[in-house]
């Protein structure tokens, strides 16, 4: 990445600008703007997050926000209420309070003497979600949005449920947020006496969100609120949507490019859950330059040509050897002026010969080659060689390809099947099989078969009755070379991506058809991007280096299979304000191949903050298991000032299963 130090306008920074909400709650913002913005007002760009601007997102903030400011914007990074250095309490993700606060910050920014009245909003993940939801509320000053790694559907395409199946990430993310939100504000900003009161109040009101999310197992009003797919026309701001093929949110760029009535463009590259100017696998792109083109057009009314850009720009990845991490994915950029594209044709393939039903009865441990739901650490989190999972699935192998094909879009599999239990899941994987048998995951989809007709009103299966279902796989852009084969692998378990059915299940497949979206073969890059740039990187001292580990163990005596993950994010000290922060996440997922009720997940997070003899630490742990009727979740917070335990709290709740 090229570091830019000279900008058209000189930048000034305000590390703790207070923004007081109508109810009196003070939000803390870190703001960068041109030094002369008071004389020559500029548009504002808002990023509104719970992830702590002081020590959480500071690495990426440092690259991004001064860059925007130097190019004539007031860039505002706000800690949401109840997090970081802001007052107040947070009780859930994307609450009405959160969205209203963002609308109030937008109105506040537009009214400032240094602002020209136009505001944009951007973010990745949480910030990508809430900027779309805020756009649907139509605050008058909001003219444009850049949303990365986000969703339009909080139920069907987030970390909670997928295809009506319960994602393990639902529990994992609740555990993460319990840890993230357990930390205090920085005493240097909040004051020597006040920080402790804010911290203890935050801890006393801390929510463990897993039980809440588990109480909404179907697509009810809870999930519809904030899902902009309920009314795409509500979004009037111009939307630039960006995603990554190695992220968990692979479908949003297509959904937005297909449905938004306001100006919209989509870009999707080979990346994990990161901003694309520093993301991996490479190639990264000049995201900040693309963002400036978007902001300049919609916030400054400068003709930058973005309206003539292709509707959908996607990176078609070449076939590679399966690996848990790829520093780079070879491939090429393709461009579609319209999306959906008339150039993409559907090819159908019958998978099951007439009169030859297939029996699917996978061990509960099938799925361990699938990798993380949304890879994040530049570590061993990508899908590995699929052969271990293929061996536990029913596989439909196609003939060797005589010529390469480009799959661009969402593959689908139509299946006629029966189940021997009233609730069952199905997982469908599309794989690229190399000549030597290595199996690389192209895309996958899962479906709770009781949701075959509706996520809102599921229907139990009648054992033995044949039903028709459609499994939609995630969007992809992948070249399968000549000499390789396509494999469709079907299982009725997918651990630890989804929680297992309450009973072992046998499915009988009587018919299955694969629909492949095929694009004419690209001969090279059809669009190019500038090389990545960024402002001066964050200056730190490393106290403990980061490290990620992932192990799968099988107890040969008991048969229990355990996945152990340790992500040590390291510890660093900020050289400007001296705050040191560190974190370690540990996860353990266990299951017996024959017993779905043996499934268990445990997490343990450690967070540390220190400066000049002052130190705090939080330890948060959580556990999830189930019986045939209920999910059982528990959690614990311990907070320490120095070595003294100053707060502890336990959570435990049982939530009935509902066709899950």
**pLDDT digit string, tens, across residues 298-347:** 999 999 999 999 999 999 999 999 999 999 999 999 999 999 999 999 99
- Distance from C-alpha of 242 to C-alpha of 256, rounded to nearest angstrom: 10
Burial class (CB in 10 A: 0-12, 13-18, 19+), 301: exposed
Average pLDDT estimate for 145-173: 98
**Is the pTM of the predicted complex or chain greater than 0.95?**
yes
Those residues with Cβ within 8 angstroms of residue 537's Cβ, 6 or more apart along the chain or in another chain: 3, 59, 62, 63
Q: Would you say residue 355 has pLDDT above 90?
A: no
**Contact yes or no for 184/196 (Cβ under 8 A):** yes
Whether the Cβ atoms of residue 218 and residue 658 lie closer than 8 Å to each other: yes
Asked whether 351 and 396 are in contact (CB, 8 A), the reply is yes
Exposed e or buried b per residue across 23-52, where buried means at least 16 C-beta atoms within 10 angstroms of its C-beta: eebebbbbbbbbeebeeebbbbbbbbbbbb
Task: Determine contact, residues 657/630, Cβ cutoff 8 Å.
Answer: yes
Tens digits of residue pLDDT in 82-131:
999 999 999 999 999 999 999 999 999 999 999 999 999 999 999 999 99
* Helix, strand and coil percent figures for the chain, each rounded to 5: 15, 40, 45
CB count, 10 Å around CB of 629?
9
pLDDT at position 191: 78
Count CB atoms within 10 A of the CB of residue 366.
24
Residue limits of CATH 2.60.120.260 in the chain: 345-519
Pick the CATH number of 2-150+236-336 from 3.30.300.30, 3.40.640.10, 3.40.50.1820, 3.40.50.1370: 3.40.50.1820
CA 49 to chain centre: 14
Alpha helices in 205-339, H assignment, sequence order: 210-214, 221-224, 252-259, 287-300
Do strands 467-472 and 405-409 pair parallel, antiparallel, or not at all (unpaired)? unpaired
- Stretch 240-260: mean pLDDT: 98
365 pLDDT tier (thresholds 50, 70, 90): very high
Largest CA distance in the chain: 79
Residue 192: pLDDT above 80? no
The 10s digit of each residue's pLDDT in 561-577 is 999 999 999 999 999 99
Residue 193: which pLDDT band, with cuts at 50, 70 and 90? Answer: confident
Q: Which tens digit of pLDDT belongs to each residue from 619-644?
A: 999 999 999 999 999 999 999 999 99
Element (H, E) at 604: strand 595-611
> How many H-runs (helices) and E-runs (strands) does the chain carry?
11, 33
What contacts 83, CB < 8 A, 6 or more positions away? 49, 50, 51, 52, 90, 180, 181
Q: Are 132 and 156 in contact (CB under 8 A)?
A: no
Q: SS3 of 430, please?
A: strand
State percent of the chain over pLDDT 70: 100
For residues 575 and 541, what is the distance between their CA atoms, to the nearest angstrom? 7
CATH 3.40.50.1820 boundaries in the chain = 2-150+236-336
CATH number of 345-519: 2.60.120.260
pLDDT at 374: 85
Kind and range of the H or E run holding 169? helix 169-180
Residues 98 and 80 sit within 8 Å (Cβ to Cβ):
yes
Question: pLDDT for 263-308, tens place per residue?
Answer: 999 999 999 999 999 999 999 999 999 999 999 999 999 999 999 9
Alpha carbons 208 and 210: distance in angstroms, whole number: 6
Residues 6+ apart with CB under 8 A from 272: 244, 246, 247, 279, 280, 281, 374, 375, 376, 378, 381, 382
DSSP-derived letter for residue 233 is G
**Angstrom distance (rounded) from CA 15 to CA 270:** 34
CB 437 within 8 Å of CB 156: no
Q: Report pLDDT digits (tens) over 15-72.
A: 999 999 999 999 999 999 999 999 999 999 999 999 999 999 999 999 999 999 999 9
């Amino acid at each position: 990445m090229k570091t830019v130090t000279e900008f058209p306008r000189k930048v000034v920074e305000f590390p703790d600008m207070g923004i007081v909400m109508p109810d009196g709650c003070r939000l803390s913002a870190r703001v960068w703007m041109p030094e002369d913005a008071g004389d020559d007002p500029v548009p504002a760009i808002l990023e509104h997050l719970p992830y702590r601007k002081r020590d959480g997102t500071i690495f990426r903030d440092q690259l991004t926000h001064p860059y925007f400011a130097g190019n004539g914007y007031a860039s505002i990074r706000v800690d949401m209420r109840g997090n970081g250095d802001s007052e107040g309490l947070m009780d859930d993700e994307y609450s009405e309070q959160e969205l209203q606060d963002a609308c109030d910050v937008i109105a506040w920014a537009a009214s400032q003497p240094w602002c020209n009245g136009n505001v944009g909003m951007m973010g990745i993940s949480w910030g990508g979600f809430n900027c779309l939801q805020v756009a649907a509320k139509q605050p008058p000053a909001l003219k444009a949005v850049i949303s990365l790694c986000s969703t339009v559907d909080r139920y069907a395409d987030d970390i909670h449920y997928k295809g009506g199946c319960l994602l393990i990430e639902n529990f994992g993310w609740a555990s993460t947020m319990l840890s993230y939100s357990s930390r205090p504000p920085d005493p240097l900003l909040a004051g020597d006496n006040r920080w402790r009161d804010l911290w203890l109040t935050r801890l006393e009101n801390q929510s463990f969100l897993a039980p809440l999310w588990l109480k909404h197992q179907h697509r009810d009003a809870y999930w519809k609120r904030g899902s902009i797919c309920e009314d795409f026309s509500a979004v009037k701001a111009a939307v630039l949507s960006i995603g990554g093929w190695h992220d968990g949110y692979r479908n949003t760029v297509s959904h937005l490019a297909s449905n938004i009535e306001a100006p919209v463009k989509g870009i999707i590259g080979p990346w994990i859950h990161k901003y694309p100017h520093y993301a991996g696998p490479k190639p990264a792109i000049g995201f900040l330059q693309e963002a400036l083109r978007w902001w300049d057009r919609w916030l400054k009314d400068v003709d930058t040509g973005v309206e003539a850009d292709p509707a959908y720009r996607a990176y078609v990845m070449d076939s590679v050897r399966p690996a848990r991490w790829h520093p780079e994915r070879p491939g090429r950029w393709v461009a579609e002026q319209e999306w959906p594209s008339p150039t993409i044709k559907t090819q159908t393939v019958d998978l099951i010969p007439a009169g030859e039903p297939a029996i699917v009865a996978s061990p509960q441990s099938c799925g361990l080659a699938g990798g993380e739901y949304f890879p994040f650490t530049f570590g061993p989190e990508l899908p590995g060689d699929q052969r271990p999972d293929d061996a536990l699935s029913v596989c439909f192998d196609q003939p060797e390809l005589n010529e390469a094909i480009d799959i661009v879009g969402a593959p689908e599999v139509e299946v006629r099947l029966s189940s021997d239990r009233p609730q069952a899941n199905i997982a469908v994987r599309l794989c690229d099989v190399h000549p030597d048998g290595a199996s690389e995951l192209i895309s996958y989809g899962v479906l709770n078969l009781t949701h075959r007709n509706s996520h809102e009103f599921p229907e139990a299966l009648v054992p033995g009755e044949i039903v028709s279902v459609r499994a939609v796989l995630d969007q992809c852009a992948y070249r399968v070379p000549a000499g390789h084969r396509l494999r469709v692998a079907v299982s009725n378990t997918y651990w630890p991506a989804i929680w297992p059915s309450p009973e072992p299940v046998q499915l009988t497949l009587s018919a299955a058809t694969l629909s492949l979206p095929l694009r004419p073969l690209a001969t090279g890059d059809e669009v190019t991007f500038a090389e990545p740039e960024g402002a001066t990187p964050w200056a730190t001292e490393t106290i403990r280096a980061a490290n990620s580990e992932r192990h799968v163990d099988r107890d040969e005596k008991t048969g229990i299979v355990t996945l152990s993950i340790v992500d040590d994010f390291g510890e660093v000290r900020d050289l400007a304000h001296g705050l040191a922060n560190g974190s370690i996440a540990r996860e353990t997922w266990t299951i017996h191949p024959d017993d779905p009720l043996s499934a268990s997940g445990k997490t343990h997070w450690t967070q540390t903050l220190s400066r000049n003899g002052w130190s705090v630490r939080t330890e948060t742990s959580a556990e999830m298991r189930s019986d045939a009727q209920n999910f059982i979740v528990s959690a614990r917070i311990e907070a320490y000032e120095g070595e003294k335990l100053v707060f502890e709290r336990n959570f435990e709740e049982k939530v009935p299963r509902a066709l899950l």
